[in-house]
Structure 1
Amino acid sequence: MRKLMILCIGAAVLCGCSAPEKEDPSATPEPVTYACRYIDKYDYSQPAGYADMVNDEWYDTALFAGDSRMGSIALYGTHDNAQVEYVTSLNLMRIGNMPVDGRDDGKTLMDILEETDKENIYLLFGINEIRNPNFDAFGEKLQEIVSMLMKDHPTRSIYLILSYHPDKIDGLPEPGLSEHLTNLNTTISEIAKKNHIYFVNPDEGLDDEAGTVIDEYVWDGLHFNVPGAQAFEEYLGYHVVRREKYVQEICE
């Protein structure tokens, strides 16, 4: 009987059937991890809304690029630390061939956009294409530029500026001018919506009761003079989107 009991105990030891070990209360528990995602609540189908004016340091991060209308900020703007690049009579299809005004290195606007590391980029294009019956080719080229800007900098802020309504365009009387502007600006705003980037509508702050740019802001019905350029610059400064207001990190 005693021999049988010894054999049973030995078998239990060999089989690992001893009593379970107690957990060490001093052991550090494994940290709990959560899956996080970002929720963007901004409505990209709407123009950038009014906000607090940005400070002067913000302009260190900004690039303003476009046709001769953007040149008014280069000539009359109040923030010397902003980079402003423009091409007179720019045709967007030739953005890679036409040299930038006021530079000695022969760089094109496409060169500037490809090289920039600025985090806030403003683009103003389209007035030199305004006589076209449609803006399909313009839209394709603008999409190409936007895709290039976003490729290596997906978190940068890109603002497409809609074309404000000039008093007149030679060779394009009303109602054709208004119809073409609507088509142009629809093309621009749809690209902004599709790519989740911002667009700005300066007509909201620079037009008179007739729905065209304020006469005192332009010297030829289209291009800004000193008061107009500074009003335009101020409007943009009051319509900067604060990403942190709309993008939230959710961890579960």
Structure 2
Amino acid sequence: MHREGLTKRFGMEPPRLARLLRALEAGYSPSNPYHNSAHAADVLRNLHVLLHGARLTEHYLDPLGLLAAYFAAIVHDYGHHGLTNDFLVATSHPLALRYNDRCPLESHHCAAAFSLIAERPDLDALAGLSRAQRAAFRKQVGCCGAPDVEAPAAPEAPVPRDDAERLLSLQVALKVADLGHLGAELEAHKRWLRCLEEEFFGQGDRERQLGLPISPLFDRSKQGVSKSQARLGLG
């Protein structure tokens, strides 16, 4: 952010920004084999490379949009429980109840991150933003991480075509960055895949204990996602 000139442009104090980033990192459970702080850092790196490589920073993003994109990558799995939305809904998890079973994880990530900042003024590295900038920042972060692309919520007002295309581009870029290990070197991809598989198996174990149907590829007594990919020649 410093190299991109964002800290100076938006008056972000480096010590406060560092505290915020450490607090956000702490919100990623180290017990999650896959959805942990290493994954968040990897997605941030992938997004940075993608935005500049595809020249989106020249054609789609102003500085505030770039800041929002980086922040969206950092918090995109903040507070992840290592479980899927389906599991949360099936077990009536508090997050599923809070968000009425509609993409509880994705809704939680963004809300929890902004709640942290609201509750801890000492972490508010965005204090230098104007009211209008802050509102635009929150909107862009929320849209970047919008999970339900199949049935998006109707906007309160028509979105200008350019803005709609910009937000769609950012959504796609973040999704590609989130799956970036698919384009990594084979051994790196396999390492990430093993982590994802172990997280899946962990949920499968809980489903078995609760007497729930075990989700496909989540049963450690059968082939997991890594062996399924190997059969397709992907791993």
TM bin (shorter chain): under 0.3
* Structure with max Cα Rg: 1
* Larger RCO, structures 1/2 (Cα 8 Å, 6+ apart): 1
**Higher normalized helix content (fraction of residues):** 2
